Amino acid sequence: MEDTLTHVVDELTRRGYKEHFRVADGRLHAIGTGQRFAPEGVVIRGYYRFEGVSDPDDMAIVYAIETRSGVRGILVDAFGVYSDPTIGAALQHVPMLGKSAA
């Protein structure tokens, strides 16, 4: 079975990655709680990349993120030319502990 973005997000949520993050001002912002985390306060437990073979607009990457305080969530970004440079800059020095999280 081919994994879809929705399937991966659902699976990560079942595994405890319940928060959704966005990046602003160089920090990760937890959308649900409003907490902010500096890049040095988080790790990437894994990621899952969608390469959009039939449609380049479908290229995306889902990060499974855990903060030092134990908050677990996901961050979704476009992959390739459409990726958000602010996300790349914020995650540049974040340790990546695993490849595929799903």
Residue 25 lies in a domain: yes
State the residue range of the domain holding 28.
Answer: 5-91
Q: What is the pLDDT of residue 53?
A: 64
Residue 98 lies in a domain: no
Residue 62 lies in a domain: yes
- Report the predicted TM-score, pTM, of the whole model to 2 decimal places: 0.86
3-state SS string for the chain: CCCCHHHHHHHHHHCCCCEEEEEECCEEEECCCCCEECHHHEEEEEEEEECCCCCHHHCEEEEEEEECCCCEEEEEEECHHHCCHHHHHHHCCCCECCCECC
Residue 24 lies in a domain: yes
Q: What is the pLDDT of residue 102?
A: 45
Residue 38 lies in a domain: yes
**Rounded average pLDDT per 10-residue block, the chain, 102 residues:** 78 96 94 94 92 67 95 92 88 82 48
Residue 97 lies in a domain: no
Domains held by the chain: number: 1
